[in-house]
Amino acid sequence: MHLSQLIISASFLAAVALAAPLDSRGSSTSPANAKVTLATAFTSGAGNKEPNATISVGIGKGADTYTCYTGGWQSFPSSSKWVSFDAMWNKSTTYLKESCANTGAFSSGDSSAQIDNMYNSILSVASASFVDPRFIYATILQESSGCVNIDTSKNPDPSQPDNPGLMQSVAGVEFVGNSASASAQASSIRQMIVDGTQGTAKGDGLVQCINQYGNIYEAARCYNSGQVNKSNLNDAEGATPSYVTDIANRMTGWLDAPQKFNSCRK
């Protein structure tokens, strides 16, 4: 059984889907230093050897609308239509302060220090992994609304690992807690992003999915479902149908507009 959950944020009605557990996503053998290596990933935009270049490069703020996408990955927005990392980030910083509302997590949202740690960690892990930082952040928003205190998703199969942390990774770390020291919180936030991006000993991260598929859209379906129907990325394979379309919209500026995936299928 695939584990999925819908989290509705107080500040916008967006689907936040939890990643698939180990039985779907598979085992990552050497996640600690995992990097994007597939050549096609660097032409599609999924891989980026100079992630700092995306901080200001993009189409500006994009459009805060929700657009329906169907079919294979080439039917989804190309990297030339993505917003810059800073545009994506700056648009959502106020939202992050309310990100835990209605998620069942402790506290209403992230502190200023936690938000700063998240920003720095995304860019640091992007540099180490060669994953475009916009894709990392879009996945964080999708999986946890950016709430560092997000609850761990418990796998209904006790023989399979749970999905903790900002990216709901496979058997990774969960946040150390608001009462921990500033340095411990910073380290914990970075490790949550490492686990989701570079994978864990028990499951793949974005790197492994990108190296298998070469683009962020099939990689997103891989991360959420484990299995990928290349001709229909809205085929959830037992997980969350809207996941890839949500990611596509996040990459092009969606934040506050209503999530209307159900209307896409009418």
Could you report the per-residue pLDDT of 89-144, keeping only the tens digit for each? 999 999 999 999 877 777 789 999 999 999 999 999 999 999 999 999 999 999 99
Q: Is it the case that residue 11 has pLDDT exceeding 50?
A: no
pTM above 0.75, yes or no: yes
Dihedral class, residue 215 (left if φ above 0, else alpha if ψ from -120 to 50, else beta): beta
DSSP 170-191: SS------TTS-HHHHHHHHHH
- Written as one string, the DSSP assignment of 37-54 is --HHHHHHTSB-S-GGGG
pLDDT of residue 51: 87
Q: What is residue 30's predicted lDDT score, i.e. its pLDDT?
A: 57
Helix runs in the chain, H state only: 22-25, 39-44, 85-96, 112-129, 133-144, 182-198, 206-213, 216-225, 243-251, 261-264
Alpha-carbon span 84 to 58, nearest angstrom:
4
pLDDT tens across 133-178, in order? 999 999 999 999 999 999 998 888 888 888 899 999 988 899 999 9
pLDDT tens digits for range 32-73: 689 999 999 999 999 999 988 779 888 878 889 999 999 999
Q: Please, what sign has the CA dihedral across residues 259, 131, 140, 96? A: negative
> Residue 199 is encoded by which pair of tokens?
């994978």
Whether the CB-CB separation of 65 and 248 falls below 8 Å is answered with no
List, in sequence order, every residue forming a beta bridge with 200; answer none if it has no partner: 203
pLDDT at 266: 58
